[in-house]
Every structure is written in structure tokens, then in C-alpha cells.
Amino acid sequence: MNENETIKIIKQRRSVRQFSDRRITENDLNTIINAGLYAPHGETNFEEDIYFTIIQNQSVLNKINLLAKETAKQSSLEWLRELGNNENFNCLYNAPTYIIVSVKKQSKSAVYDCSALTQNMLLAVESIGLGSCWLYFPLQAFDNDNNLGLIKELKIPQGFKPITSMIIGYKDNNEVNIPERKTKNICYIK
């Protein structure tokens, strides 16, 4: 199989949940955000319809963790309730940086566009030697009646909704195990 540097980065990117305390530089954060802006998209105008929130303040990260867990405790899904009730669980895995991607609520292709943008960012993180993990759980902090204060504190503009999120940081362990993945579920129509 023909493998270039891009294919290698795609294959070696893994979800990281253990980070050093070292803070990510603004230059690296700008590189990551910029990579996201080059993702394919449908109706979402990345220049006007996307809003990035980069959180490195520990007290705000703690607040998001607690709000997400409080919401999870009310979930109809047992596994979410269990995580919400687990005092030792930190849904941000003590990462030094949390990024939320929000989009204007009326955007019709928001989930698809934000997903492509987020994937580009995750690959950029890996390519510059950092670690990341795409997270759903913390977004529950915004599915709570108490979230208006959090949205205001995070300066997410009115009319925008958080869609995707990720944690990033310096990997605590640089060992990479790349399992082989195969599928038989391919149909070529020629």
C-alpha cells in the first residue's frame, strides 16, 4: 500500500486521555484552528458561522466537568448515569486545553461541517506532536437549564450552539500502538 505522511498521521492518531501539565502555545493553537478552517463544508460559512472557544482556565474546566456530570446523572442511559455519579471521573481527563466548536443554530449542515472541521483539527494536533481526544460527554454541560451562565462565561455568542469538542495537550506517553484495521464490507461498482 502506498503511504505518504498524511496517511501515516491518519493511522497513528489515537485518542489520548493522559497529558502532561504543560500548556499549549498560542502558535500551536492557531495552527490547529487554521487546519480546521480548511475542512470541506456545505452550507456553513466558516468565517461567520463557526465560533471557537479555547479553555485553559482550570476553574472553568472544573465547572464544565461538574455541569456535564450533573446532566449525565439525569440521563436515560445507564452508562452516562454511572459516569456522572463517579466522583473520580473527570470528563476532560485533566487535559490542559479544551476546545469547543459552536455553530449558528440555523445552519443546516452544522453537524457534518463541524465534524469535518474537528477531524482536520485532530489530525493537525497529531502532526505537530500533541495528543487529542474528540469528546461528547462534556457537551452535556450545555444540555442543562443551568447552562446559560456557562454559555455567557465562555462568551459563546447568542444564536450559537456547541456541536463538537476536543481536549488537547502534550502526550504523557508517546508510545503508539497502531492496530491493523480491515473490512470486508466494500462494494466496487465498475
How many Cα atoms occupy the beta-carbon half-sphere of 74 within 13 Å? 9
Residue 96: C-alpha distances to residues 9, 20, 91, 102 (Å)? 23, 8, 13, 20
Q: What is the CATH number of domain 14-169?
A: 3.40.109.10
Rg from Cα positions in the chain: 18
State the pTM of this model. Answer: 0.90
Burial class (CB in 10 A: 0-12, 13-18, 19+), 1: exposed
Classify residue 150 by burial, with Cβ atoms within 10 Å: 0-12, 13-18, 19+: middle
What is the residue-level pLDDT of the chain in tens, covering all 190 positions? 678 988 888 888 889 999 998 999 999 999 999 999 999 988 777 888 899 999 999 999 999 999 999 989 988 999 999 999 999 999 999 999 999 999 988 888 888 999 999 999 999 999 999 999 999 999 988 876 667 788 889 999 998 999 999 999 999 876 767 677 778 888 888 9
154: left (phi over 0), alpha (psi -120 to 50) or beta: alpha
Q: Where are the domains of the chain?
A: 14-169
